[in-house]
Structure 1
Amino acid sequence: MTWAVLGSIAGLLGLLISGRVRPAIAFVSLAGAYLLLGLVDTATLLAQYTNPALATLLLLLLVSLALERTPLLDWVSQRLLTGNEKTATARLMGASAILSAFLNNTAVVSAFLGAVSRQRRIAPSRLLIPLSYASILGGMTTLVGTSTNLVVNSFTLSTGGFELGMFQFSLVGVPVALLTFGVLLWRARQLPAHAPEDTAEKLSYFLAADLEPGSEMVGKSIEENALRSLDGLYLLEIEREGRLISPVGPEEILQQGDTLVFTGEVSKVQALQRFPGLKLFGHQADDLLATNLVEVVVSHESELSGQTLQDVDFRSMFNAGVVGIRRGGKRLEGQLGQIPLRVGDCLLLAVGSDFRQHRNIDRNFHMLSGSFKRPQLSRIESLLTLTGFAAVIGLAALELLPLFHGLLLLMGGLLMGKVLSPAELRRRFPFELWMIIGSALAIAQGLESSGAAALLAQGMQALFSGYGVFAAFVGCYFLTLLLTETVTNNAAAALAFPVAWTTAQAFGADPMPFIMAVAYGASACFLIPYGYQTHLMVFSPGRYEVRDFLKTGLPVSLTYSASVLVLTPLVFPF
C-alpha cells in the first residue's frame, strides 16, 4: 500500500504537469480514492476542509473583493508612470510590491495592467514583466501577501499544530526582495520594446469573418474583391470546409461559407464595412461600429479556460461578441471559433450597452481598454474598508486578535454596510482553491497513515546523509521551485510540504527553515509564464514570448534563490 500511495502522488504530479485535468479535479479525486481505501476516514477528510488556516485564506480572498474596488489602486496607477523609463519602472515595481504585501497580487496587477497598457510614453512590454515579478516579491514578505503563504500556514497548523506569524516571512522576505529588485530593474532594460507603431502590434489580433450565402463576393477572386488593399488589415488565410488556405493568392476564388481570417489593427475594423455579406464572428461590421470595442484578458478564475467560443454561448453570457483573439506574440492557427481559450488570452469584444451589468464580468475578465470601469466604492466606503483591513492586520500582527476573527468581523461589517453582497460572495467564492487545499491536506494525512511519509523521510535521509541537513534543506527548496515552475504555485506548496516536513523529522531538525523553504520556493516562479496567474495576465498584453520570461527570470531566480538559501538558515536555524 505504501508504494501504491507514492505511485498515486507521482500520477497526480503527472496529471498536473500535463494540464489535461484541472488541479481541483485531480486533488479531489485522489482524496476521494484515499477515503474509499480507508487511508483517511470521513471525519478526518471533512476536518481538512474546515482547517482554520484554510478558512482564514478564504475569508481574506473574499474581503479582498471589497479592497479591489477601492479607488486606491486606480489612484496609485495614474501617478506611477512619470519621469524617465528607469524611474517609472522602479516606481511601478515598488508600488506593486508594497501593495501586494497586503492585497491580493492578482488585484494589484489587474489594476495596474490597464493603465500600463493604455499609456503610450513607455512601451508596455518594458513594464509588465517587472510589474508581475514585483508583485510576487512583495507578496512573499507577509502571511497575507500571497495565497501560497496561507496555504503553507494551513499545512503547518494541520501537521505541526501551530500557525505562522503575520510578519514571520518578512525577516527573510524583505532582504531577498530588495536584493532581487536590483537585478530585476537591471534586466528590465533588456526587455523588448514593442512600440504601438511596430508591425507586431498591427498584426497582433486575428479577426474571423464569415462569407454569407448570396454575397456578391462569392465567385470572385481576392483581387476582384479588392481584398489585397485593405486599410490596416491583411487577409491571412481562408478556412474552407475544415481546411486552411494559406497564404492566400490574388487569384483565389471565394466560395459560399468561407471564413476569412484577417490580422491587423483593431481600429481599422471599419475597413470591412464596405464588403456586402461579410460577418465578423456572426456580426455585421455595421453592428460592430455602433458598439463599444473593449479589450479584455481572460482571468485565472474564468470558466472559459479550456473551452472554445463555439462551446459557450458567449453572447448570452456577456452580451458581447468576440471580434479578435491574441495570445502573446504567437500567431494563432486554425479557425478561431474552435481554438480552446487559455488564461491570459486577450479578447477584443464588441459589447452591448449593459455589458458592465453582467454579474460574471469581474470573475472572467481583466479590463485592458474601453470605456467600462469597475464599480468603485465611495470615498467613505473606501476609507472605512481600508481602515478596517489595516486594523485587522495590525491587531493580528500584535497578536491581540486572531486573523480569522478580525477578517470575520470585517466581513460582517462589509455585508451590513452593503459594500459586499451575498450574491457577489457566491459568484466569487474560490471553490477550486478550497477544494485543492482541503484535498491536499487530506492527501497529506493519507501519506502519514499509509507509511509513505515515513518512507519519504528515510529516502531523504539516505539521499542527503553524507551532506548534512543544509543539503537536505537546499534539496527541499529546489524541489518546490521545480514544482512551482511546472504546476501552479499552490499545488507546488501542497505537494512539497509533506516532503519538507518529513525531511526535517528525519534529520531531527527544527521544521521552520524547511517550512520557509517551501513557502519561498513556491513563490519562486520567474522562469516560465504558465505557472503563475499574474504572468499569464501580462503575457498577451505585453506580446511576450516564453524566452522573454527566461531571459529576464533566470538572473532574477538565481539571485532570489541564492538569497533565500543563505538567509533562511541564519534567521531560522536548524
Structure 2
Amino acid sequence: MTAWLVLLSLAGLLALLVSGLVRPAIAFVTMAAGYLVCGLVDTTVLLQQYTNPALATLLLLLLVSLALERSPLLDWVSKHLLQGHPDKAVVKLMGVSAVLSAFLNNTAVVASFLSTISRQDRIAPSRLLIPLSYASILGGMTTLVGTSTNLVVNSFAMGSAGIELGMFQFSLVGVPVALLTFMVLVWRAGTLPHHHPEEAEDKLSYFLAADLERSSELIGKSIEANGLRSLDGLYLLEIEREGRLITPVGPEEVLHADDTLVFTGAVSKVQALQRFPGLKLFGHHADDLLATNLMEVVVSHESELSGRTLQEVDFRSMFNAGVVGIRRGGKRLEGQLGQIPLRVGDCLLMAVGSDFHQHRNLDRNFHLLSGSPTRPRLSTWESGLTLAGFAGVIGLSALELLPLFHGLLLMMGGLLLGGVLSPSELRRRFPFELWMIIGSALAIAQGLETSGAADLLAGGMQAVFTGHGVYGAFIGCYFLTLLLTETVTNNAAAALAFPVAWTTAQALGVDPMPFIMAVAYGASACFLIPYGYQTHLMVYSPGRYSLNDFLRIGAPVSVAYSAAVLVLTPIVFPF
C-alpha cells in the first residue's frame, strides 16, 4: 500500500509541475519533507542529498560561470559572427555557440549573443535566435559541464551507485548526434519567419497601458476629437473602465476620468503619446518619459519576478523603474499591466531612473536587450586569466589529474582573492532553487526505493515492454524523459526519470549506463515547446516567435536527434 501511495504522490508532483501552479522548488521540497515526516527517508539521508558531491560541483560551476559571463570575449565574438551573407552568419553563429556551450553555461552564451543580435538590424533576429538556442543545447549535451542537466544526472548516478561520469563521456554519442542534428537545423533554419526590427507597424510589438488623470483635457471628448485614432506607430486597442473592457474602441467613444487606455506598438513610438496631456504610463507622465532612459529587457530564468505581478513585487521601488510595456512572443496580453503575472522570457520596456544601474539585483532578474550594460565587464587581463584558469580546470579534470570539484573550488578562491567576484555577488546569484530541486529530488528517489515504489515502476516498465526486450525498455526510458522535458523543465525531467531508468536497468539485470545516458540525452531533447528550456524562453519574445515556429523547426530536429541517440547509445554503451 505504501508503494502505491508514493507513486500517487509522484503523479501529483508531476501534475503540479505541468500545471505551473507551484514553483518546482516548492513542489520538490514539500514532497521531500512529506517523505521525511512519513519515515520514508530519515534526517541524515535527507541532509546527505543536499551535500551530494556532484550537486556541490554543479553549484560551484554555476557560480564560477558568473565571472565567465562578464568576459568581453563573448561580446566580441558575437559582433564578428554576424558579418557576411545571412545564411553563412546563421551557420557560424550556430557552430560557435555550440562549441562555447560545450564548456560554458549555455544560458550565459545565449544571453551574451542575445543582446548583440537584438540590437543589430542587418539580419532579422527571428532568423537567428531559435538556431542559437537549439545549437546551445546541442553543444551543451556533449560534455559533463556543458549543461546543468548532465551534472544533475551525474548527481543521481553518484548517489545511486557511486558512478561518476567523465568529462567527455557524453561526447562519445553527443558529438555525432550534435553534428547530425546540426545539419537538419541548418536545413530548416531557412523556414524561420522574418520579423525585421523596422516593421514598426506590427501591432503586437508591445502592450502599453496609459491611465487618464482626472485633470486631463481629454476627458469628455471622443477618441476622434482627441486625435487618438491617428498615432504614429501606436494603435488604441481597448479601454478599461470600472473593471470592464471596451473593445474594439469606436471613434465616437467618449473618454471618462480614470480610464485606462491600452495601446499596442513599437518601442520607439512611445513618445507619440507625449502630446496628450494627463496620460500616465504606469506611473510616468507621457511627456516626462522622453527625459528618461528607455530600456528593453528579458525576464531571466533566475528572476524572482516569475509568476508574480508588477504590483505584487512593488516593481518601481525594487528597481527604480516603471514598466510601460510587456511583450510575450507574438501574443497580445490582456488586462491591467500591473496585474499580469510575468513569465520567464517576457520582454519588458522600462523607463528607468538615474540610479537604475546601481541596483544589485539586475543581473539576476534581467537579460539586457537595449540600453547601457548593467554591470562592468572584466578587463582584458582579468578575462584572459579567468578563461585560462577555467580551461586549466577542465583540462586537468579531463586528464583525471585533479577532480573537477577541487579545481573549481581553487578557481573560486582565486576569483574572490582577485576581486573578480565578491561574496555579495555570490549570495545574490546563488542558485538556491536548483539546489533545493536537485537535493529534494535525490531524497525523493531514496523514498521511492525505500517504499518499494521503484520496484513497482520497474515492474511496470517490464510489463509494458514484454516481448521487446532490453532495447524496448531503453527506448521507453528515453521517450519518458523526452516527454517530461517538453512538459516540465529539463532538470525536473532528469530528476523524475532517473529513478525509473535506474530501477528498470536493475530489474533487467543489465548495465545501467545506457539507461543513465538515455535520461541525460532525453532531458536535453527539448526542441518542440519553448516552455521547457530556459534558453528557448530567453529568445521567445525577442524573436517574436509563436508556438508554431518552434514546432515547425523543432519537429524534424527532435526526430533526427532522437533517432541518432537511440541508435548510437547502445552501440557505445552496450547493455
Give the Å deviation of 1:465.
2.7
Moved more, 211-220 or 481-490: 211-220
**Aligned residue identity for 2:152:** V
* Conserved? CA contact 1:81–1:92, under 8 Å: yes
2:256 paired residue number = 255
2:162 paired residue number = 161
CA distance in 2, matches of 1:200, 1:330: 15
2:539 paired residue number = 538
CA distance in 2, matches of 1:191, 1:200: 20
1:410-429 → structure 2 map (5 Å cutoff): 410-429=411-430
Find out whether 1:195 has 2:177 as its counterpart.
Answer: no
Encode CA deviations 1:473-513: one digit per residue, 9 max, x unaligned. Answer: 00000000000000000000000000000111111110000
2:406 paired residue number = 405
1:66-465 → structure 2 map (5 Å cutoff): 66-198=67-199, 201=202, 203-465=204-466
* Conserved? CA contact 1:176–1:560, under 8 Å: yes
Encode CA deviations 1:336-368: one digit per residue, 9 max, x unaligned. Answer: 221111110000011112211110000000000
**Aligned residue identity for 1:376:** R
CA distance in 2, matches of 1:58, 1:88: 34
Give the Å deviation of 1:373.
4.7
Paired residues in the alignment total 574
CA distance in 2, matches of 1:521, 1:330: 29
Query: Where do 5+ consecutive residues of structure 2 fail to align?
Result: none
TM-score, scaled relative to structure 1:
0.99
Give the Å deviation of 1:106.
0.6
Moved more, 346-355 or 537-546: 346-355
CA distance in 1, matches of 2:6, 2:254: 61
1:59 paired residue number = 60
**Aligned residue identity for 1:479:** L
1:513 paired residue number = 514
Give the Å deviation of 1:188.
0.6
CA distance in 1, matches of 2:573, 2:204: 52
CA distance in 2, matches of 1:493, 1:414: 31
Moved more, 12-21 or 257-266: 257-266
CA distance in 2, matches of 1:447, 1:557: 31
Encode CA deviations 1:43-100: one digit per residue, 9 max, x unaligned. Answer: 0000000000000000000000000001111011110001112100000001110110
Give the Å deviation of 1:449.
0.7
2:495 paired residue number = 494
SS in 2 for 1:20: coil
SS in 2 for 1:304: coil
* Conserved? CA contact 2:479–2:522, under 8 Å: yes
CA distance in 1, matches of 2:207, 2:451: 53
TM-score, scaled relative to structure 2:
0.99
**Aligned residue identity for 2:34:** A
CA distance in 1, matches of 2:266, 2:55: 46
* Conserved? CA contact 1:194–1:200, under 8 Å: no
* Conserved? CA contact 2:481–2:523, under 8 Å: yes
Encode CA deviations 1:547-566: one digit per residue, 9 max, x unaligned. Answer: 10000000000000000000
CA distance in 2, matches of 1:558, 1:97: 19
SS in 2 for 1:223: helix
CA distance in 2, matches of 1:419, 1:199: 41
CA distance in 1, matches of 2:385, 2:260: 54
CA distance in 2, matches of 1:200, 1:73: 33
Identity %: 81
CA distance in 2, matches of 1:266, 1:457: 54
SS in 2 for 1:322: strand
CA distance in 2, matches of 1:188, 1:281: 39
Encode CA deviations 1:169-216: one digit per residue, 9 max, x unaligned. Answer: 000000000000000011110011112233664541111111101211
SS in 2 for 1:513: helix
Query: Where do 5+ consecutive residues of structure 1 fail to align?
Result: none
1:569 paired residue number = 570
* Conserved? CA contact 2:102–2:146, under 8 Å: yes
Find out whether 1:45 has 2:46 as its counterpart.
Answer: yes
* Conserved? CA contact 2:362–2:374, under 8 Å: no
CA distance in 1, matches of 2:479, 2:234: 48
**Aligned residue identity for 1:442:** A
Give the Å deviation of 1:371.
2.6
Cα-Cα RMSD: 1.0
CA distance in 2, matches of 1:13, 1:268: 44
CA distance in 2, matches of 1:459, 1:262: 54
CA distance in 1, matches of 2:470, 2:104: 35
Moved more, 360-369 or 265-274: 265-274
CA distance in 2, matches of 1:417, 1:562: 47
**Aligned residue identity for 1:491:** A
Moved more, 348-357 or 482-491: 348-357
Give the Å deviation of 1:230.
1.4
Give the 3 Å change call, closer, same or farther, for CA 213–422 of structure 1 in structure 2. Answer: same
CA distance in 1, matches of 2:456, 2:374: 54
* Conserved? CA contact 2:203–2:235, under 8 Å: no
CA distance in 1, matches of 2:270, 2:9: 52
SS in 2 for 1:224: helix
Give the Å deviation of 1:377.
0.7
